[in-house]
Structure 1
Amino acid sequence: MKISIERGALLRAVARAQSVVERRNTIPILANVLIEAEGDEATFRATDLDIEVVDKAPAKVERAGSTTVNAVTFHEIVRKLPDGALVQLTDDGASGRMNVEAGRSNFALATLPKQDFPVMTSTEYSSNFKVAAPVLRRLFDKAKFAISTEETRYYLNGVYMHVADGEDGQVLRCVATDGHRLARIDAPLPEGADGMPGVIVPRKAVGELRKLLDDDDMEIAVSVSDTKVRFATNEITLTSKVIDGTFPDYTRVIPQGNTRKLEVDAADFARAVDRVATVSSERSRAVKLQLDEDRLILSVNAPDAGNAEEELVVAYSDERLEIGFNAKYLLEIASQVDRENAVFLFNSSGDPTLMREGSDMSAVYVVMPMRV
């Protein structure tokens, strides 16, 4: 194999591929990136056996071929090369080394045979559709904070993507919950998605997917089967196994009868929660909300450190209410609000609270209260 490739294009491709590689590997080949050169492009493939990323970059291919090298080392070398450099990659297939040349720099990296590299088996996808990058970004960005990190409840360690019945017909919906808070985000159903099986996209795949969604003009091709999900652009393909489990019936958790309505400026509310929570070293400290006629008092009492209180002018006209929440959960939910106002709907101090953005029902959050 002998190719020449521009350093910027090479860095983008290798960076996206190597981020999938686990730093601690018992199988040496999984630490490597597979480089394949043919035609006028080079392909970079990395996997951890659950997720596979394939990235393409334009290249001048003098001699087609393939090899595998340590992904992290290769990425570090390319990252430290000067901007605009032309990088030449050469592997004669016999020496067990791949040469990396750029200007006066020369590196020889140990290789492993391509035959040892595990390629994820292709699947017949039962559903194929396209989604604009900003739509997919919103679905996953607004849901991912609620993904559970508890390994025992593995079926909550991802975002449940499925077709559901919304206010005005069927929608593409993403849901995540850890049992303490829940996020439910809807988007218009893309053409061709109506028969899609519901799948739980794992946390790591959600993080990797986010890197594909920065270009607002891009469309993402989504393919779904019972066992895998694939997201593809012209350059990158991300394939992931889905979590083999049943996502719980989240609709039972979303309160329907909450009538006490608080409307507050989302940014002011988030800043106030952040300020009063400062007196406690524990971020899980309860913040008490005292609601009265058009007035909200936020307070934290940390016996070891002190106490804090802040008052906000809000729109609230129901009977007096005192309720406590984990400060971290409140901040995370408030930070999801893109609009000016956050609307909280309460029932009592012991019941789950509903939060939405103004009158928009396409993003709904639920948070469980704490005793204060």
Structure 2
Amino acid sequence: MKVTVERAQLLKSLGHVHRVVERRNTIPILGNVLVRAEQGRLSLKATDLDLEVTETLPAEAAQPGATTVPAHMFYDIVRKLPDGSQIVLESDGERAVLAIRAGRSRFTLQTLPESDFPDLAAGEMGHAFALPAADVKRLIDRTQFAISTEETRYYLNGIYLHSADSAGTATLRAVATDGHRLAQVELPLPSGAAGMPGVIVPRKTVGEVQRLIEDSEIGIGIELSTNKVRFTIGNVVLTSKLIDGTFPDYGRVIPQNNDKELVVDKHEFEAAVDRVSTISSERGRAVKLALSAGKLVLTVTNPDSGSATEELEVEYASDALDIGFNSRYLLDIAAQIEGEAAVLKLADPGSPTLIHDRDAKGALYVLMPMRV
């Protein structure tokens, strides 16, 4: 194999694929990236057996071929080569090395045979649809914070993507929960998504898609089967296994009859919670919300360090209520509110609270209270 490629393009592509490779691997081939030169292009592929990323970039292939090299070392070498340089990659099958040349720099890396590299065979993908990058970004950004990190409840370690009926309109809905809070975002069901299976996209896959979208302004192709999902973002194809589990019936925890409505300025509320929570302990993090007509008093008490209170003018006309929340969870949800005002629908100190954006539709959040 002999191929010439521009450094900036190779670095960008390696930046996308090498992230999938775990730093420590018991299987040596999984620490490598597959490099394949074909007519007029170079493709790079990396996998951890659950997730596979392939990217294709233009190149001058004088001699087609393929090999695998250590992913992180290859990335570091290309990163340190001079800007604007042309990089020549040449593999010698007999010696099992890849030579990397750019200007006066020359490196050789040990290789492993292409035939050892695993292929995450996707099989038949039964459903395919496309979404604008901005829509996929919104689905992920507004729900990702609520993904559980508790490995024992593995079925909560991702975003549940499914078709749903919302007031008679077919929607594509993303839901994440960790048992303390829940995030739900939906948008009109795209063409081709009708009848799609409900799937749980793993946290690592969600993170990779999120990073790839940041480099993309174009539409994103999504293909699904019952056990795999594939995202096509420009020249990058990301294929992932899905979480094999059943997502809980989240509809049962979304309160329907919370009759006490609080409307707060999102920025004032966020800043006030942030200020008073400075006093809270790492373990406690509890902030008390004392509600009365037109007024909200936020209080944090920490026996070890002191207390803090802050008063806000709000829209509230129901009975007085004291309720406590984890301040970090409150801040996480406040950060998702896109408009100027947040609406909190409350019932009593022991029941979940429903939070949504007063102006933007399609997103809602549920937060379990704390005892204070």
- What TM-score results when the alignment is normalised by the length of structure 1? 0.98
Query: What is the rounded CA distance, in whole Å, between the counterparts of 1:310 and 1:168 in structure 2?
Result: 42
CA distance in 2, matches of 1:20, 1:177: 24
SS across alignment from 2:131: strand
Identify which range, 313-322 or 46-55, moves more after superposition.
313-322
Q: Percent identity?
A: 53
Amino acid at match of 2:270: A
Contact 1:96/1:110 (8 A) holds in 2? yes
Partner of 1:272: 272
Match of 2:319 in 1: 319
Name the structure 2 match of 1:176. Answer: 176
Secondary structure, in 3 states, of the residue corresponding to 2:349? coil
Aligned 1:6-45 pairs, distance under 5 A: 6-45=6-45
Q: Secondary structure at the match of 1:211?
A: helix
Task: Note the alpha carbon deviations across 1:212-245, whole angstroms, 9 max, x for none.
Answer: 2125631111000000000002300010000000
Matched position secondary structure for 1:278: coil
Give the Cα separation in 2 of the matches to 1:233 and 1:336. 25
In structure 1, what residue type is equivalent to 2:74? F
Alignment of 1:108-127 (within 5 A): 108-127=108-127
Unaligned runs of 5+ in 2: none
Q: Which runs of 5+ in 1 are unaligned?
A: none
Asked if the contact 2:345/2:355 (under 8 Å) is kept, the reply is yes
**1:242-290, Cα deviation, whole Å (9 max, x unpaired):** 0000000000000000111111111221111111111124165100001
For 2:264 and 2:166, the matched residues in 1 are separated by 26
Quote the Cα distance in structure 1 between the aligned partners of 2:26 and 2:187: 41
Instruction: Give the partner amino acid of 2:24.
Output: R
Any idea what the Cα deviations from partners look like across 1:298-352, whole Å, max 9, x if unmatched?
1100010111111111111111110000011001000001111111000011100
Q: 2:362 — aligned with what?
A: 362
Q: Specify the alignment match of 1:234 in structure 2.
A: 234
Matched, 1:287 2:287: yes
Structure-to-structure mapping, 1:127-142, within 5 angstroms: 127-142=127-142
Q: Is the 8 A contact 1:298 1:309 kept in 2?
A: yes
Q: Are positions 1:298 and 2:301 aligned together?
A: no
Aligned to 2:278, the other structure's residue is in SS state helix
Distance in 2 between residues matched to 1:363 and 1:191, nearest whole Å: 21
Q: Distance in 2 between matches of 1:254 and 1:343?
A: 15
Q: For structure 1, which segment, 266-275 or 27-36, has the greater mean C-alpha deviation from structure 2 after superposition?
A: 266-275
Mapped to 2, the partners of 1:279 and 1:358 lie a distance apart of: 30
| Number of equivalent positions | 372
Structure 2: how far apart are the matches of 1:45 and 1:324? 49
Inter-partner Cα distance in structure 2 for 1:92 and 1:215: 34
Conserved? CA contact 1:287–1:325, under 8 Å: yes
SS at match of 1:24: coil
RMSD across aligned positions (CA):
1.1
Q: Distance between the aligned counterparts of 1:239 and 1:193, measured in 2? A: 18
What is the TM-score of this pair, normalised by structure 2?
0.98
CA distance in 2, matches of 1:225, 1:286: 42
Contact 1:133 1:215 in 2 (8 A): no
In the TM superposition, 1:16-165 aligns within 5 A as 16-165=16-165
Counterpart residue type for residue 335 of structure 1: A
Q: Which moved more, 1:155-164 or 1:351-360?
A: 351-360
Aligned residue number for residue 192 of structure 1: 192
User: Displaced runs of 4+ in structure 1, greater than 4 A?
Assistant: none
* Alpha-carbon offset, residue 83 of structure 1: 1.5
Q: 1:188 & 1:278 partners in 2: Cα distance?
A: 40
Letter paired with 1:347: A
> Any conservation in 1 of the 2:338–2:360 contact (CA below 8 Å)?
no
